[in-house]
Amino acid sequence: MPLHLAPQIDPTLRSALDETVLMTQLADALGSPLGVILPQQLADNVAAFRSVFSGHRLSGQIYYAHKANRSSALVRELAATDAGIDVASLAELQHALGAGFVPQRIMATGPKNEEFLWLCARTGVTVSADSVGELATLAALVTDWSLPPVRVMARLSGFTSTGVQLGSRRSRFGVSAAAVSEVLDTIAKHAAALDLVGVAFHLDTIGLPEKAVALEGCLGALDECRRRGLRPWSVDIGGGFGVNYLADGTQWEQYTSALTEAVLGRRAPLTWNGHGYGLRAEGGHVRGALNLYPAHRPVSGPAYLDRLLRTTSPEQRRPLGTLLLDNMYDLHVEPGRALLDQCGLVLASVLEVRDEANGDTIVRLDCNARDVSLEEHGVLMDPVVVHRTTPAAPGPAGVYLFGNLCLEADLITRRQVFLPSRPRPGDLLAFVNTAGYLMDFSATHALRQPIGRKVALYRDDGAWRWCLDEQYWPVHHRAEAP
Amino acid sequence: MRFESMTDAIGNTPLVRIDSAVHGLRNIDLYAKMELLNPFGSLKDRAAWNMARPLLAQAVERGDTVVELSSGNTAKALAVIAGMHGLTFKSVTNRMKVAEIKDLLLLLGAQIDELPGQAECLDPTDTDDPLTRMYHRLAGSGGGYLHTDQYFNELNVDAHLNGTGPEIVKDLDGRAPDYFIACVGTAGSSTGVASALRQHNPDVRVVGLVAHKSDFIPGIRTIDEVHEVGLFDPDVYDTVETITADDAIDGLLTLVRRCGTLAGPTGGGAYQGAVRHLRAIDAQLTERRTAVFIVCDRVESYMSYLRERRPELFGRPPRRNSVRTVTDADVRQAVTVDVAEAERWIAERRGLVVDLRSPFAYQALHIDGSINIVDELFAELLHGGLPFGRRQPVLLVCPVGEKSARYAALLTRMGHPDVRSLDGGIIAWRDAGAELVRD
């Protein structure tokens, strides 16, 4: 039985995908791979997060984590909403400013060099500082250049729990929550340069208990601020809200069960060279851990945020959302993947379809594993076949997808993918819902292969229209009246 | 019965017939092995004691910590045994899912280490399972640990091969049952009992029960998870069947309500799985057969689990003066005052200001002169009646003026003539620049 992992496709993305003539024309004209961005979907996603805020009566900002996609169309469309943007490099900051974000709507995060800090300070964006050293560097820049005080957030990490010792992966970012007094000493020392507006954390986990401990730890740190007479009013809980990639949870369960059996040798391998996605067999038992994104995530995105805010805090035993509200704190979030849910797809041309002697079928694509980085991010999700003509052989085809790099490891998927029908050279594969991290995060010019172009596809006057990503602005030029 | 130690009371549990009027099988005698009657409350007492006993003398000498990867009954039994020998017990767990067991372990003096949740961004180098992580931790800590290793320790199986299994045979007058049904957790009990029974009768049919993949049943593993268990050998079972959390709870209810057996969900699952499996066979039978299933542990530790899945089982009559009964129309009738008016009202010391926010938030910053009764506590007080006199004017304060308006409406309905709510709450108060103090 074919093991499908059918993607979740919402109506807007489905309607774009149904424009098969347009899709093939675009790929023919602009080459393969081609990123297709649906900027207007982003506004809907912002609204969904916003409604969770209002449901909890919370104020605060939704900062889109720009690193999830390099697209200009997305950033410009976002500038037209009430959301903010989280920039993690000098170029991302320049991009955001150029797209129309005023500095009050920009948060600078991540590792920063002096130029990045200078532009933050000069324009007045909020700096989420990773270390005491970064605060000192920033303060020196503000003083040396006689700039107005900069709004800063202090990123904390290494929160400790009481009673049950809740383990958390060590993070390379942030100041230990136990050392918050060092941060406050630094702020006090540079009071004319730094204006502390809140504290922040981001934990790379889908676990709610760890986030509850961290959020409560932030409340403790803010209380220490108030004790010292500072008045920061916000908590930034970062991102990691996740996306539900798959339409059917049963398929995900069947697939992962089958993978376990395949690793144990109880059924034919499902993967290239018996790759186990983190699982391995030792003495008839499975060892290791399934190293995949939980592609079927019924509680993800805004619903995950809602669940987190309803989670009871471990010490104060009140829902986290209620505690934030009680304390009059603004809540900031930095979703990347979750805000780009259903916001785009990657088209790739089929170059060759061949059957190997051992029965495997190979589909070679004109793109590589860095253009559609499903494997790198552990997302298992089937592509959709865009046929140019009626498929010759209807019925599912189990295939391996090879990339265009001269490299053994360049497989778009290391598992056998069951396509609904067998493609032919010239057909397209559409990798849907790939706008968040899976489109151009890792794209490179290795082997001088081109990085795929991007187009923005948008609804205007009741029809789909398109332009190059860099040409897109939220102001649409109406078609002339006939 | 006189014992020198509670550990002597482990084992020799009764085998009790389940009334055929309850299970409805006509040709099968169904017996329950009452492992819930072990002194620390479960089947795991046997394995815990069998695994720890040979190592205890040395561990006591060195002052080792007893360690196990468990979030349930094995941890509980080991925590008790460690405590009896003056040792510390540490439970390393993926996620403690049942709140009562977590609390009980803390009460027993155990340390609980929870491992981190799955990463949201994939880190391809992170391929360790919890067991491997725990081994690294033990290796890195330079000894001082007694690790019972329940998923791989043959002494786990041995406890049932030489205890539980032969006891069943003895109680059935030297005959093995025709069917043995067990839930698969560490696979220790099912493997041990099955081997013991087959020594008497190689034709015993053994049914293993695993949890439905998307379900969580405490103490039972899913079909994928059993493959991670060192003691799991698929050849032990003639068939492996799936049960859902709903099945387990249905079975639990039958056992607790009709069979005088205060079983937890694993026992409930075993009963339900047994009856389901046997019902088809029963219809074809012309002669009598015997079947045995295991009641692993007790119901008391699973109240939160049951409350979450079957809230209707805990239905209570509505309490009077509940804020939930306040309608939107009631709220619209409630008196509200804006920040400026509230400031005047407070300056003139006209009445009592009640801040309904959490104590932590109140202590950080509040309106000068207000008192703090957190909303949950205020709701509790109101069930009993008005906590202040009718002639005492009151101003209620909450974060955004929503809860305070509901409580103002409720107080009005309860007959208080002089209550008002701060419109926009303390956030509006702050935004208007009104004074907040910290004392």
Contact B121 A377 (CB under 8 A): yes
Has residue A208 been placed in a domain? Answer: yes
- What is the per-residue DSSP string for B241-282? EEE-HHHHHHHHHHHHHHSS--B-HHHHHHHHHHHHHHHHHH
Per-residue pLDDT reduced to its tens digit, A100-158: 999 999 999 999 999 999 999 999 999 999 999 999 999 999 999 999 999 999 999 98
**pLDDT > 70 in chain A, percent:** 99
The dihedrals phi and psi of B273, each to the nearest 5 degrees, come to -65, -40
Residue of A170, A277, A325 to mutate, testing the B interface (most B Cβ within 10 Å of its Cβ): A325
Same domain assignment for residues A226 and A81 = yes
pLDDT band at B207 (very low <50, low <70, confident <90, very high): very high
Distance separating alpha carbons of residues A124 and A104, to the nearest angstrom = 7
Same domain assignment for residues A64 and A155 = yes
pLDDT reported for residue B146: 85
Assign B310 to helix, strand or coil.
coil
Per-residue pLDDT reduced to its tens digit, A363-392: 999 999 999 999 999 999 999 999 988 887
Averaged confidence pLDDT in chain A: 93
Has residue A480 been placed in a domain? Answer: no
Same domain assignment for residues A63 and A168 = yes
- What is the per-residue DSSP string for A217-241? HHHHHHHHHHHTT----EEE-----
Give the CATH number for residue A196.
Answer: 3.20.20.10
Q: Are A325 and B399 in contact (CB under 8 A)?
A: yes
Q: Are A346 and A452 in contact (CB under 8 A)?
A: yes
pLDDT reported for residue B132: 67
Q: Out of A169, A257, A293, name the one closest to residue B122 (CB).
A: A293
pLDDT reported for residue B70: 83
CA quadruple B232, B234, B239, B242: dihedral sign: positive
Distances (CA, A) of B318 to B212, B265, B321, B411: 36, 29, 9, 18
- For residue B335, pLDDT beyond 70: yes
Same domain assignment for residues A227 and A102 = yes
Distance separating alpha carbons of residues A382 and A18, to the nearest angstrom = 17
pLDDT reported for residue A454: 98
- For residue B123, pLDDT beyond 70: no
Has residue A475 been placed in a domain? Answer: no
Number of Cβ atoms within 10 Å of the Cβ of B251: 26
pLDDT reported for residue B125: 57
Largest Cα–Cα distance of chain A, in whole Å? 75
CB-based contact, A197 to chain B, within 8 Å: no
CB-based contact, B361 to chain A, within 8 Å: yes
Has residue A479 been placed in a domain? Answer: no
Residue A392 CB contacts under 8 Å (≥ 6 apart), including other chains: A422, A424
Peptide bond before residue B14 is cis, with ω within 30 degrees of 0:
no
pLDDT reported for residue A426: 95
CB-based contact, B83 to chain A, within 8 Å: no
Q: To 5 degrees, how large is the angle CA B436–CA B378–CA B374? A: 40
Nearest chain A CA: its distance from B255 CA (Å) = 31
Has residue A262 been placed in a domain? Answer: yes
**pLDDT > 90 in chain A, percent:** 80
- Chain A residue with the nearest C-alpha to that of B355: A326
Same domain assignment for residues A129 and A268 = no
Q: What is the mean pLDDT of residues B107-118?
A: 85
Per-residue pLDDT reduced to its tens digit, A183-196: 999 999 999 999 99
- What is the per-residue DSSP string for B210-222? EE-TT---TT--B
Q: Are B335 and B422 in contact (CB under 8 A)?
A: no
Closest to A345 in 3D by CA, of A2, A1, A15: A15
Least confident of A72-86, A394-408, B417-431: A394-408
Same domain assignment for residues A301 and A410 = no
Cβ neighbours of B117 in A, within 8 Å: 205-210
Q: Are A324 and B400 in contact (CB under 8 A)?
A: no
The dihedrals phi and psi of B181, each to the nearest 5 degrees, come to -120, 125
Same domain assignment for residues A357 and A280 = no
Domain of A47 in residue numbering reads as 40-243+297-332
Contact B228 A286 (CB under 8 A): yes
Q: How many domains does chain A have?
A: 3
Q: What is the mean pLDDT of residues A13-26?
A: 96
Cβ neighbours of B119 in A, within 8 Å: 169, 204-206
Has residue A166 been placed in a domain? Answer: yes
Q: How many H helices and E strands in chain B?
A: 17, 15
Same domain assignment for residues A22 and A53 = no
Number of Cβ atoms within 10 Å of the Cβ of A467: 15
Q: Are A89 and A115 in contact (CB under 8 A)?
A: no
Has residue A394 been placed in a domain? Answer: yes
Per-residue pLDDT reduced to its tens digit, A232-278: 999 999 999 999 999 999 999 999 999 999 998 889 999 998 899 98
Cβ neighbours of B232 in A, within 8 Å: 285
For B131, the token pair is 């067991």
Contact A278 B127 (CB under 8 A): yes
Same domain assignment for residues A304 and A387 = no
Per-residue pLDDT reduced to its tens digit, B396-437: 999 999 999 999 999 999 999 999 999 999 999 999 999 999
- For residue B192, pLDDT beyond 90: yes
Nearest chain A CA: its distance from B284 CA (Å) = 33
Per-residue pLDDT reduced to its tens digit, B27-39: 999 999 999 999 9
Same domain assignment for residues A376 and A392 = yes
- What is the per-residue DSSP string for A400-445? EEE-SSSSTT-BS-SB-EEEEE---TT-EEEEES-TTTSSSSS---
Same domain assignment for residues A265 and A354 = no
Has residue A476 been placed in a domain? Answer: no
Same domain assignment for residues A263 and A144 = no
Give the CATH number for residue A395.
Answer: 2.40.37.10
Residue type, B215: D
- Chain B residue with the nearest C-alpha to that of A325: B399
pLDDT reported for residue B66: 92
Domains of chain B by start residue, with CATH: 6-39+154-314 (3.40.50.1100), 44-147 (3.40.50.1100), 323-431 (3.40.250.10)
Distances (CA, A) of A266 to A257, A283, A284, B224, B370: 11, 13, 10, 13, 69
